């Protein structure tokens, strides 16, 4: 079966698999510039830290076709600002735009707009390919440390959350591809149901056995069944190893600790933010109340209720067994190891 | 505003507020005997341990109109068996049927069927009234120990889960009625969404501020906001103080312990099972996969996924700060105190 392609870049055109409609419908939306790309990211047509980084890069490259001669820097920064504002928590958005900024600087502000646009398209495509390669390296590294037995994952850190292959699911599929056999428990991940709709869909396609649970069942699962490890992704990991990831992750980490289950975070170095000292510095997006009061467009909650809807939470480094990067596996809370991995990735570009 | 009436008993007729359709529709279903009452309990027209106990009592009393002269005991046991099999975890079902069995024994097996039916109707109505009175006493006792500040509750242990007034929500409304002001956080409680649909609805009616969260947000809530206490209900509490309650309760108890938040269980003595030594002896119902793969009748999860759907989990006594009964408050894990409360309730009937 062909791999899932959340981001299609063909003949200079960008299309996104509309993840809001999965698994019921597989439809692609074509994007034309920074503004509609930002809107697609904000409304979760595409989600997952690596995927939104790469998508933003393509969006900015498309927007560059409209940059004005002599105003390249201003136009670049305006478009980058629109994209950066789309979602605050994942650092990959900032990381990808920074990579494009370096490209723009190298091209110079006196270049012809079409020269800059061509360079940005090339760089965005490089980021896309780098992301897939990083995920494959991360998956292989993770498969080497993953204990044998069933695995629990949360939200979707699969091919759909990246340019392709996946981070947490990358570890799982690398272990599976090496011939090991096990089952995966996937939390449904309210409010957006990434687990029920996206992770389960990917694993069924890969023919890896997947069992769905609601988010509240994690405690009962760990208390009554044998789970060998938890593997999740991350939207931003701070310099001290604190991990921001989809809401519900912290809850799982606390339970994993109580039950002695190792807790792994699959973190491509693009999601590690050495400028953030700790989780306290990571901005946590709060999203619309509608996401909680409604499910798939229909109201379920009573009228008149207030809502608290943080999209992410922070798992302190002390609850993290190890962080798996494409540069190798770093023990939870090992600041030096994290910095080394980020710097190694920078040298390898 | 009139109190919510989940169970209507008027002129010898039994109607249930159909909780599957709340809060969008308030419709009542009339029941005529043991079989349709069991079906209503199984399909969650009515749910909540005290409510299903009282409902089963009325269902059996209605069925008694069909008992055959000379076969009263057989017919009673057949009907009781149908009701008892409806749901395995809540002990109130067994407790209520046992109370009716005592009534039947007192009437004797040679009585006229209509004499037995009348006695059972009277006893069922007594159980109904006892339950409301117990909840009010429990609420008052709980309000005295509840710390000031915001409260988190899970699932629905309100008027809808009982004959009226509520257990965990009984504690909350007693505290509110005494003039204290605070907010309530309610988990939505997948898969059946009792929190979003029922608890939020009751609290909005009572004009007590309620903020809805998804089940995965409990960790983030306790880590980032001030919550003074957790108060939940129970479907069965064992002799050692282990508490079976709606799936997700154990997860919350573990998080409450980590954050030093007291964890209270509102347990009318009808839900305490001294015959169960510990939580290991409490049967945990597993329900249909459809409840997880579908929401409000529509499929959300991908096809081909397996499901683990335990309806309840067990919170060990060591995580329980106190158990609030209508006979007073018992420290978590205090076996002697629990037994004393149950025996005091038996003496007071």
The pLDDT tens digits for A122-137 are 999 999 999 999 999 9
The nearest alpha carbon in chain A to B290 belongs to A212
Tokens of A296: 């798939």
Q: Does B247 touch chain A (CB under 8 A)?
A: yes
CA distance B156 to A220: 19
| Phi, psi dihedrals of residue B105, rounded to the nearest 5° | -65, -40
Compute, in degrees rounded to 10, the torsion defined by CA atoms A342, A145, A320, A253. 130
Would you say B253 and B293 are in contact if contact means Cβ atoms under 8 Å apart?
Answer: no
The pLDDT tens digits for A59-117 are 999 999 999 999 999 999 999 999 999 999 999 999 999 999 999 999 999 999 999 99
Check if CATH label 1.20.120.420 holds for domain B7-134. yes
The answer on pLDDT for A1 being more than 80 is no
Is the alpha carbon torsion for A190, A194, A199, A204 positive or negative? positive
CA distance B113 to B23: 40
* Buried b / exposed e along B72-95 (16+ C-beta atoms within 10 A): beebbeebbebbbebbbbbbbbbb
Contact A224 B307 (CB under 8 A): no
Tokens of B124: 């069922």
ipTM over 0.95: yes
pLDDT of B3 reads: 80
Contact B301 A212 (CB under 8 A): yes
CA distance A157 to A259: 23
Q: Does B20 touch chain A (CB under 8 A)?
A: no
The pLDDT tens digits for A204-253 are 999 999 999 999 999 999 999 999 999 999 999 999 999 999 999 999 99
User: Tokens 């005290």, residue?
Assistant: B50
User: Tokens 């991350």, residue?
Assistant: A234
User: Tokens 């939104």, residue?
Assistant: A52
A229: closest CA of chain B, how far (Å): 17
State the average pLDDT over residues A176-182: 98
Map out the domains of chain A as residue ranges. Answer: 7-134, 138-348
Per-residue pLDDT of chain B (349 residues; tens, 9 = 90+): 568 999 999 999 999 999 999 999 999 999 999 999 999 999 999 999 999 999 999 999 999 999 999 999 999 999 999 999 999 999 999 999 999 999 999 999 999 999 999 999 999 999 999 999 999 999 999 999 999 999 999 999 999 999 999 999 999 999 999 999 999 999 999 999 999 999 999 999 999 999 999 999 999 999 999 999 999 999 999 999 999 999 999 999 999 999 999 999 999 999 999 999 999 999 999 999 999 999 988 999 999 999 999 999 999 999 999 999 999 999 999 999 999 999 999 998 7
Residues comprising chain B, all counted: 349
CA distance B74 to A154: 51
Compute, in degrees rounded to 10, the torsion defined by CA atoms B42, B47, B48, B49. -30
B150: closest CA of chain A, how far (Å): 14
pTM recorded for the entire structure: 0.97
Contact B217 A298 (CB under 8 A): no
pLDDT of B2 reads: 67
The answer on pLDDT for A179 being more than 90 is yes
Contacting residues of A for B218, CB less than 8 Å apart: 251
For residue A214, how many C-alpha atoms fall within 13 Å in the half-sphere facing its CB? 32
Bridge partner list, B9: B14
The superfamily (CATH) of domain B138-348 is Translation initiation factor eif-2b; domain 2 (3.40.50.10470)
- Tell me if domain B7-134 and domain B138-348 are identical in fold: no
The pLDDT tens digits for A11-37 are 999 999 999 999 999 999 999 999 999
């Amino acid at each position: 079966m062909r791999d899932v392609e959340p981001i299609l870049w063909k003949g200079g055109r960008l299309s996104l698999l509309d993840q809001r409609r999965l698994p019921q419908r597989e439809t692609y939306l074509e994007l034309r510039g920074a503004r509609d790309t930002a809107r697609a990211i904000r409304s979760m047509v595409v989600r997952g830290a690596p995927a939104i980084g790469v998508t933003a890069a393509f969006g900015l490259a498309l927007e560059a076709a409209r940059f004005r001669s002599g105003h390249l820097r201003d136009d670049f920064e305006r478009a980058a600002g629109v994209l950066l504002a789309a979602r605050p928590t994942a650092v990959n958005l900032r990381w990808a735009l920074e990579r494009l900024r370096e490209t723009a600087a190298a091209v110079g502000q006196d270049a012809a707009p079409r020269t800059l646009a061509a360079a940005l398209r090339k760089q965005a495509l490089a980021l896309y390919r780098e992301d897939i390669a990083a995920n494959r390296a991360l998956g292989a590294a993770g498969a080497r440390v993953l204990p044998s037995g069933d695995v629990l994952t949360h939200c979707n850190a699969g091919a759909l959350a990246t340019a392709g292959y996946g981070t947490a699911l990358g570890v799982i599929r690398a272990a599976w591809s090496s011939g090991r056999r096990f089952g995966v428990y996937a939390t449904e991940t309210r409010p957006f149901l990434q687990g029920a709709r996206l992770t389960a869909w990917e694993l069924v396609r890969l023919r890896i056995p997947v069992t769905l649970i609601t988010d509240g069942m994690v405690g009962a699962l760990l208390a009554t069944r044998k789970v060998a490890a938890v593997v999740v992704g991350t939207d931003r990991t701070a310099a001290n190893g604190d991990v921001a990831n989809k809401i519900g992750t912290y809850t799982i980490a606390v339970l994993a600790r109580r039950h002695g289950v190792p807790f792994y975070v699959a973190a491509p170095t693009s999601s590690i933010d050495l400028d953030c000292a700790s989780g306290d510095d990571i901005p946590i997006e709060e999203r619309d109340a509608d996401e909680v009061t409604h499910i798939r467009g229909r109201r379920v909650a009573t009228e008149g209720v207030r809502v608290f809807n943080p999209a992410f939470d922070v798992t302190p480094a002390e609850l993290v067994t190890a962080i798996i990067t494409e540069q190798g596996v770093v023990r939870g809370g090992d600041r030096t190891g994290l910095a080394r991995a980020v710097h190694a990735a920078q040298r390898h570009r």
